[in-house]
């Protein structure tokens, strides 16, 4: 799985060790999906309609989605309300992060919004983002692939800025008083990138003057790379470090060896 980075939306299954074949299959699927979307959405409009008109359609669609799905908490005019913060000025990337990782819509009052299944399609999310962004802008996604950054630079930046909370392999970690830095395997490239931009919940915000677009792309690529890379030394044991290793030493190693002593010690 060298270097290949799958940029897809839905939460992936837990298995890290997908076969090469399924990786290729996912890419094929993604290509087919992107292709058909392009023909379905972009092709008819590109000829006749101008870009602004397209954009305003998108904003309109996003507004409809917002009113039906989000306004109960965030208020009809985005100003916030029952339980939801104001969304004026948060920008597109915040929307993409929250909705594309399934955190929004929020299920119930929780201390930290958990990652859930995504409720909207990518186009719907983009429409929502366009609508929110049109009411006071904030950071938004850059153009181009998010995962063509410098892998080695991404690694160095990841260890400096991210590993202290998300662990060395993006397996997540504990924060204070029940909060946690989530594991990153299930985060899509868009989610990773927008998280850095928008600084959701406990996470610090990394503006473009602090981590440039290229640097953020590098980090995004590195995270996707290591979370998708198969482990070379056998089962990865969750990549939590020495704790799971010690657990395996006792639960597998010691138990197996004591069982062997019982077998040897038992008289035939």
Task: Pick out residues in 192-211 that bind other proteins (CB under 8 A).
Answer: 199, 201-207, 209-210
CA distance 245 to 247: 5
Asked, as a colleague might, if the bond just before 105 is cis with ω within 30 of 0, I would say yes
**Shortest Cβ 31–other proteins spacing (Å):** 23
Q: Quick one: which segment of 5-13, 65-73, 116-124, 175-183 binds other proteins (CB under 8 A)? A: 175-183
In the complex, minimum distance from the CB of residue 89 to other proteins, in angstroms, rounded to a whole number: 13
- The answer to whether 3 contacts other proteins (rule: CB under 8 A) is yes
CB of 58 to other proteins, least distance (A): 27
Structure tokens at 155: 């690694």
Answer yes or no whether residue 108 interacts with other proteins by CB under 8 A. Answer: no
Q: Residue 165: enclosing H or E segment and its boundaries? A: helix 163-166
Of 129, 146, 226, 228, which lies in the binding site for other proteins, with binding defined by CB under 8 A? 226
180 scored as a contact of other proteins (CB under 8 A): yes
> Computed from CA positions of residues 89, 93, 98, 100, in that sequence, does the dihedral angle turn out positive or negative?
positive
CB-CB neighbours of 31 under 10 Å: 10
The CA distance from 196 to 209, in Å, is 12
Q: Which two tokens stand for residue 180?
A: 């946690």
Euclidean distance between the first and the last CA atom of the chain, given in angstroms as a whole number: 50
Query: What is the footprint of other proteins within residues 149-168 (CB under 8 A)?
Result: 151-152, 154-156, 159-161, 163-168
Nearer to other proteins, 82 or 264 (CB): 264
Q: CB of residue 206 vs other proteins: minimum separation in angstroms?
A: 6
* Shorter beta-carbon distance to other proteins: residue 37 or 163: 163
- Contacts (CB under 8 A) with other proteins, residues 125-154: 151-152, 154
User: How big is the CA angle at 139 (ends 70 and 99), to the nearest 5 degrees?
Assistant: 30
CB of 252 to other proteins, least distance (A): 7
What does the alpha-carbon distance between residue 182 and residue 115 come to, in Å, rounded to a whole number? 8
Rounded to an integer, what is the distance from CA 220 to the centroid of its chain?
10
Which of these ranges, 50-58, 65-73, 140-148, 232-240, lies near other proteins under the rule CB under 8 A? 232-240
Residue 93 near residue 198, CB atoms below 8 Å: yes
Shortest Cβ 162–other proteins spacing (Å): 9
Closest separation in Å from C-beta 268 to other proteins: 4
Q: How far apart are the C-alpha atoms of 199 and 217, rounded to whole Å?
A: 16
Q: Which is nearer to other proteins, 131 or 206 (CB)?
A: 206
Window 239-258: residues binding other proteins (CB under 8 A): 239-250, 252-254, 256-258
């Amino acid at each position: 799985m060298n270097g290949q980075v799958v940029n897809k939306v839905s939460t992936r299954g837990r298995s890290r060790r997908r076969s090469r074949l399924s990786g290729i299959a996912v890419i094929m699927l993604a290509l087919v999906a992107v292709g058909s979307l392009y023909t379905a959405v972009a092709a008819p409009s590109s000829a006749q309609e101008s870009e602004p008109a397209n954009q305003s359609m998108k904003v309109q669609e996003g507004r409809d989605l917002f009113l039906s799905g989000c306004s109960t908490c965030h208020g009809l005019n985005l100003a916030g309300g029952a339980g939801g913060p104001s969304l004026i000025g948060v920008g597109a990337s915040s929307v993409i992060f929250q909705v594309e990782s399934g955190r929004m819509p929020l299920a119930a009052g929780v201390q930290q919004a958990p990652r859930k299944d995504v409720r909207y399609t990518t186009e719907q999310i983009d429409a929502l983002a366009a609508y929110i962004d049109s009411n006071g802008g904030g950071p938004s996604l850059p153009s181009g692939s998010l995962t063509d950054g410098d892998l080695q630079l991404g690694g160095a930046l990841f260890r400096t800025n991210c590993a202290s909370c998300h662990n060395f392999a993006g397996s997540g970690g504990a924060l204070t008083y029940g909060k946690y830095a989530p594991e990153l395997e299930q985060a899509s490239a868009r989610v990773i990138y927008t998280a850095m931009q928008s600084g959701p919940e406990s996470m610090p915000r990394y503006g473009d003057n602090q981590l440039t677009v290229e640097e953020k792309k590098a980090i995004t690529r590195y995270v996707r790379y290591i979370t998708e890379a198969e482990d070379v030394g056998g089962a990865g044991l969750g990549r939590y470090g020495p704790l799971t290793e010690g657990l395996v030493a006792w639960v597998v190693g010691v138990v197996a060896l004591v069982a062997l002593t019982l077998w040897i010690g038992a008289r035939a």
